[in-house]
Amino acid sequence: MDVKIEESWKVQLQTEFEQPYFYELTRFVRNAYRTGTVYPPAKMIFHAFDSCPFRRVKVVIVGQDPYHQPGQAHGLCFSVNEGVELPPSLQNIYKELQSDLGKSCRTTGNLEEWAKQGVLLLNATLTVEANRAGSHQGKGWERFTDAVIQRLSADREHLVFMLWGAYAQRKGEGIDANRHLVLKSPHPSPLSAHRGFFGNRHFSRANAYLMAHGEQPIVW
Protein backbone atom coordinates (compact mmCIF):
# COMPACT_ATOMS: atom_id res chain seq x y z
CA MET A 1 0.00 0.00 0.00
CA ASP A 2 1.31 3.45 -0.92
CA VAL A 3 0.79 5.58 2.19
CA LYS A 4 1.50 9.31 1.99
CA ILE A 5 3.96 9.66 4.85
CA GLU A 6 7.50 11.03 5.21
CA GLU A 7 9.93 8.79 3.31
CA SER A 8 12.07 7.53 6.20
CA TRP A 9 8.93 6.48 8.08
CA LYS A 10 7.58 4.83 4.95
CA VAL A 11 10.68 2.65 4.84
CA GLN A 12 10.48 1.80 8.53
CA LEU A 13 6.76 1.02 8.52
CA GLN A 14 6.23 -0.56 5.11
CA THR A 15 5.68 -4.00 6.64
CA GLU A 16 2.84 -2.54 8.72
CA PHE A 17 1.27 -0.95 5.68
CA GLU A 18 1.08 -4.38 4.04
CA GLN A 19 -0.64 -6.06 6.98
CA PRO A 20 -4.35 -7.02 6.64
CA TYR A 21 -5.26 -4.95 9.73
CA PHE A 22 -3.89 -1.80 8.09
CA TYR A 23 -5.98 -2.38 4.97
CA GLU A 24 -9.04 -2.70 7.20
CA LEU A 25 -8.06 0.41 9.13
CA THR A 26 -7.60 2.37 5.91
CA ARG A 27 -11.01 1.28 4.67
CA PHE A 28 -12.62 2.34 7.95
CA VAL A 29 -10.88 5.74 8.03
CA ARG A 30 -11.67 6.58 4.41
CA ASN A 31 -15.33 5.77 4.97
CA ALA A 32 -15.40 7.84 8.16
CA TYR A 33 -14.06 10.92 6.37
CA ARG A 34 -16.48 10.38 3.51
CA THR A 35 -19.59 10.03 5.66
CA GLY A 36 -18.97 12.30 8.64
CA THR A 37 -16.75 14.92 10.27
CA VAL A 38 -13.41 13.53 11.39
CA TYR A 39 -10.33 15.20 12.88
CA PRO A 40 -7.61 16.07 12.10
CA PRO A 41 -8.00 17.07 8.43
CA ALA A 42 -7.14 14.01 6.33
CA LYS A 43 -3.90 15.54 5.02
CA MET A 44 -2.71 15.97 8.64
CA ILE A 45 -3.20 12.39 9.85
CA PHE A 46 0.54 11.67 9.64
CA HIS A 47 1.67 15.21 10.48
CA ALA A 48 3.68 14.00 13.50
CA PHE A 49 5.75 11.77 11.21
CA ASP A 50 6.05 14.28 8.39
CA SER A 51 7.37 16.88 10.87
CA CYS A 52 9.91 14.58 12.50
CA PRO A 53 11.76 12.03 10.32
CA PHE A 54 12.74 8.70 11.88
CA ARG A 55 16.46 9.44 12.32
CA ARG A 56 15.80 12.90 13.75
CA VAL A 57 13.63 11.71 16.63
CA LYS A 58 15.11 12.58 20.03
CA VAL A 59 12.04 12.63 22.28
CA VAL A 60 8.71 10.81 22.05
CA ILE A 61 5.63 12.14 23.85
CA VAL A 62 2.71 9.72 23.80
CA GLY A 63 -0.88 10.97 23.76
CA GLN A 64 -4.16 9.10 23.42
CA ASP A 65 -6.34 10.42 20.61
CA PRO A 66 -6.80 13.72 18.75
CA TYR A 67 -8.86 16.62 20.04
CA HIS A 68 -12.42 16.24 18.78
CA GLN A 69 -13.61 19.87 18.64
CA PRO A 70 -13.46 22.04 15.49
CA GLY A 71 -10.11 23.63 14.64
CA GLN A 72 -8.09 21.96 17.37
CA ALA A 73 -6.41 18.81 16.06
CA HIS A 74 -3.63 18.99 13.49
CA GLY A 75 -1.85 15.69 13.90
CA LEU A 76 0.45 16.38 16.87
CA CYS A 77 -0.52 15.14 20.32
CA PHE A 78 -1.41 17.85 22.87
CA SER A 79 -0.90 20.52 20.16
CA VAL A 80 -3.59 22.82 18.73
CA ASN A 81 -3.65 25.12 15.73
CA GLU A 82 -2.61 28.76 16.00
CA GLY A 83 -5.25 30.97 17.55
CA VAL A 84 -7.08 28.11 19.29
CA GLU A 85 -7.65 28.38 23.04
CA LEU A 86 -5.20 26.26 25.02
CA PRO A 87 -6.81 23.01 26.23
CA PRO A 88 -6.50 22.35 29.99
CA SER A 89 -3.86 19.60 29.66
CA LEU A 90 -1.69 21.81 27.49
CA GLN A 91 -2.04 24.66 29.98
CA ASN A 92 -0.70 22.31 32.65
CA ILE A 93 2.16 21.19 30.41
CA TYR A 94 3.14 24.84 30.04
CA LYS A 95 2.88 25.39 33.81
CA GLU A 96 5.27 22.51 34.45
CA LEU A 97 7.58 23.79 31.72
CA GLN A 98 7.64 27.19 33.39
CA SER A 99 8.30 25.68 36.82
CA ASP A 100 10.97 23.29 35.51
CA LEU A 101 12.94 25.58 33.22
CA GLY A 102 11.86 29.04 34.40
CA LYS A 103 10.47 29.86 30.97
CA SER A 104 7.52 32.18 30.57
CA CYS A 105 4.40 30.36 29.41
CA ARG A 106 3.99 30.05 25.65
CA THR A 107 0.98 31.83 24.20
CA THR A 108 0.50 29.52 21.23
CA GLY A 109 -0.64 25.94 21.54
CA ASN A 110 1.02 24.94 18.27
CA LEU A 111 3.90 22.59 19.11
CA GLU A 112 5.36 22.29 15.61
CA GLU A 113 8.57 23.95 16.82
CA TRP A 114 9.10 20.99 19.13
CA ALA A 115 8.43 18.52 16.32
CA LYS A 116 10.97 20.19 14.04
CA GLN A 117 13.62 19.77 16.74
CA GLY A 118 13.03 16.04 17.06
CA VAL A 119 10.03 15.64 19.35
CA LEU A 120 7.65 13.00 17.99
CA LEU A 121 4.22 14.04 19.27
CA LEU A 122 2.50 10.69 18.85
CA ASN A 123 -1.14 10.00 19.54
CA ALA A 124 -2.01 6.34 20.00
CA THR A 125 -5.06 6.82 17.76
CA LEU A 126 -4.57 9.16 14.82
CA THR A 127 -8.18 10.04 13.95
CA VAL A 128 -11.41 10.78 15.83
CA GLU A 129 -15.03 11.56 15.00
CA ALA A 130 -16.18 15.09 15.80
CA ASN A 131 -17.49 15.47 19.36
CA ARG A 132 -16.91 11.79 20.15
CA ALA A 133 -13.72 11.26 22.14
CA GLY A 134 -12.21 7.82 21.60
CA SER A 135 -14.55 7.00 18.73
CA HIS A 136 -11.78 5.55 16.53
CA GLN A 137 -10.13 3.48 19.22
CA GLY A 138 -9.96 -0.25 18.65
CA LYS A 139 -9.91 0.06 14.86
CA GLY A 140 -6.20 -0.66 14.31
CA TRP A 141 -4.44 2.60 15.04
CA GLU A 142 -3.15 1.33 18.37
CA ARG A 143 -1.45 -1.63 16.70
CA PHE A 144 0.14 0.72 14.19
CA THR A 145 1.45 3.16 16.81
CA ASP A 146 2.68 0.26 18.96
CA ALA A 147 4.79 -0.72 15.95
CA VAL A 148 6.12 2.85 15.73
CA ILE A 149 7.24 2.75 19.37
CA GLN A 150 8.74 -0.73 18.96
CA ARG A 151 10.68 0.36 15.89
CA LEU A 152 12.12 3.38 17.67
CA SER A 153 12.99 1.35 20.75
CA ALA A 154 14.75 -1.35 18.76
CA ASP A 155 16.48 0.66 16.01
CA ARG A 156 17.49 3.86 17.80
CA GLU A 157 19.51 4.58 20.94
CA HIS A 158 19.33 7.21 23.68
CA LEU A 159 15.84 8.47 23.00
CA VAL A 160 13.64 10.00 25.69
CA PHE A 161 10.11 8.65 26.06
CA MET A 162 7.66 10.75 28.08
CA LEU A 163 4.78 8.60 29.24
CA TRP A 164 2.13 10.66 30.99
CA GLY A 165 -0.70 8.70 32.56
CA ALA A 166 -1.57 5.03 32.82
CA TYR A 167 -2.59 4.70 29.17
CA ALA A 168 0.73 5.98 27.82
CA GLN A 169 2.66 3.90 30.34
CA ARG A 170 0.92 0.72 29.24
CA LYS A 171 1.68 1.62 25.64
CA GLY A 172 5.36 2.02 26.52
CA GLU A 173 5.78 -1.24 28.39
CA GLY A 174 7.94 -2.74 25.63
CA ILE A 175 10.47 0.11 25.46
CA ASP A 176 14.03 -1.00 26.21
CA ALA A 177 14.94 1.06 29.27
CA ASN A 178 18.56 -0.01 28.92
CA ARG A 179 18.82 1.85 25.61
CA HIS A 180 16.53 4.80 26.33
CA LEU A 181 15.35 7.13 29.08
CA VAL A 182 11.75 6.34 30.01
CA LEU A 183 10.08 9.11 32.04
CA LYS A 184 6.74 8.36 33.70
CA SER A 185 4.29 10.53 35.61
CA PRO A 186 0.56 11.13 35.97
CA HIS A 187 -1.23 12.74 33.05
CA PRO A 188 -1.30 16.58 32.77
CA SER A 189 -5.11 16.55 32.82
CA PRO A 190 -6.62 18.76 35.55
CA LEU A 191 -7.96 15.53 37.07
CA SER A 192 -4.49 14.14 37.72
CA ALA A 193 -1.79 16.81 37.26
CA HIS A 194 -1.59 17.52 40.98
CA ARG A 195 -0.83 13.87 41.69
CA GLY A 196 2.68 14.11 40.31
CA PHE A 197 2.72 15.63 36.86
CA PHE A 198 3.54 18.98 38.42
CA GLY A 199 7.11 18.71 39.61
CA ASN A 200 8.10 15.79 37.38
CA ARG A 201 10.81 17.93 35.73
CA HIS A 202 10.64 15.85 32.58
CA PHE A 203 11.76 18.70 30.34
CA SER A 204 15.03 19.39 32.16
CA ARG A 205 15.65 15.67 32.68
CA ALA A 206 15.18 15.02 28.96
CA ASN A 207 17.62 17.75 28.00
CA ALA A 208 20.22 16.59 30.53
CA TYR A 209 20.02 13.07 29.10
CA LEU A 210 20.27 14.27 25.50
CA MET A 211 23.32 16.42 26.26
CA ALA A 212 24.96 13.56 28.17
CA HIS A 213 24.71 11.51 24.98
CA GLY A 214 26.02 14.19 22.63
CA GLU A 215 22.71 15.54 21.38
CA GLN A 216 21.51 19.12 21.24
CA PRO A 217 18.86 19.86 23.88
CA ILE A 218 15.31 20.73 22.90
CA VAL A 219 14.38 24.41 23.06
CA TRP A 220 11.13 23.91 24.87
- Mind spelling out the 3-state secondary structure of 51-85? CCCHHHCCEEEEECCCCCCCCCCCCCCCCCCCCCC
* C-alpha dist (Å) from residue 108 to 7, 91, 168: 29, 10, 24
15's CB contacts (< 8 A; 6+ apart) are: none
Active-site residue, from 65, 100, 146, 176: 65
**Residue 100: active-site member:** no
The DSSP H or E segment spanning 150 is helix 141-155
Cα–Cα distance measured from residue 96 to residue 105, given in angstroms and rounded to the nearest whole number: 9
120's CB contacts (< 8 A; 6+ apart) are: 48, 49, 52, 57, 59, 60, 61, 152
What is the C-alpha R_g of the chain?
Answer: 17
CA atoms within 13 A on the CB side of 167: 16
Instruction: State whether residue 181 is helix, strand or coil.
Output: strand
Catalytic residues, by residue number, are 65
